Amino acid sequence: MKPEELKRLDVTYSMTGTGEAIKSAIDTLSGDLCSGKGGGTAQDKEILAVINQKLLEVDGAFDRPLDSPEIFKRLKDIATAAGQSDLEGYCGEQVNMIKANDLHFEGYTALFYGDCVTATNLLREAAKTAPKHPLAAIDLEKAEKRLAKAEDELYKAEIQIEKNPGKADAWLKKASALVTMGKLEEALPVFDKAIALDSLDAMAKKGAALEGLGRFDEAVPLFNKVLEVKSTSQIAKKGLNLAEYFSENPQ
């Protein structure tokens, strides 16, 4: 694709179409430029400048960057080789944001499971990788606050159990505190104590903890049982959605 054609491209029509056009433009760049053996031709530099402009236009039109990690990774290397510092910096930011998005998803999922130790580590890395990430720092603060309270909540729950071992809520609080502290396996028999005392919430949260351990086959029946009684359970609904997602996208 020639620079003039790319200049005429209206990015507002289609983000997918814009991505294909930019890929086509990248393919026209000289081999020496892409390999770092030379600074490229005048047309190479013009194409890179227009690509940079179109990427910024996508940001303005859709309030988000182009949906193409491979383009940003490829362009970052080319911009580095060509000495295009503005484009290199922009693409580097987007590569980091893509990595941070993946870390945030993993961290946010761990937060749903209740494991604030894993969530804190992942979300801290996401915030460090891309300081401008809109949610990483916010969710990190949530995980850290829950983790800071966990030991005290565990202590209080154990006192309640000593006073009244027949109270389901006390067993649920203990199990939840253990999960928060990253002790998911240890929490499972504690959840069972609460479930035996007819705690539906304990069944849902045990399902989430099992997912945190990667035991989706055991978690799904629990979520289904919860929904039979409480069709509005958000934990059970989200747990089933995550089980379906990870069955289609194994880690």
Selection from 115, 122, 177 nearest residue 151 by Cα: 177
**CA dihedral (101, 21, 61, 15) positive or negative:** negative
- Cα–Cα dist 31/41, whole Å: 10
pTM (2 d.p.): 0.82
- Within 13 Å, how many C-alpha atoms sit on residue 30's CB side? 15
* Domain layout of the chain by residue ranges: 3-83, 95-140, 147-251
Give the list of residues 6+ apart from residue 89 with CB closer than 8 angstroms, or none.
Answer: none
Region of residue 247 (left: phi > 0; alpha: psi -120 to 50; beta: else): alpha
Buried b (16+ CB within 10 A) or exposed e, 172-183: bbbbbbbbbbbb
Whether 207 and 178 have beta carbons less than 8 Å apart is answered as no
- CATH for 147-251 is 1.25.40.10
**Tens-of-pLDDT digits for all 251 residues of the chain?**
677 888 999 999 999 999 999 999 998 887 667 665 656 678 888 888 899 999 999 988 987 788 888 899 989 988 888 888 888 999 999 999 989 999 999 999 999 999 999 999 999 999 999 998 999 999 999 999 999 999 999 999 999 999 999 999 999 999 999 999 999 999 999 999 999 999 999 999 999 999 999 999 999 999 999 999 999 999 999 999 999 999 988 87
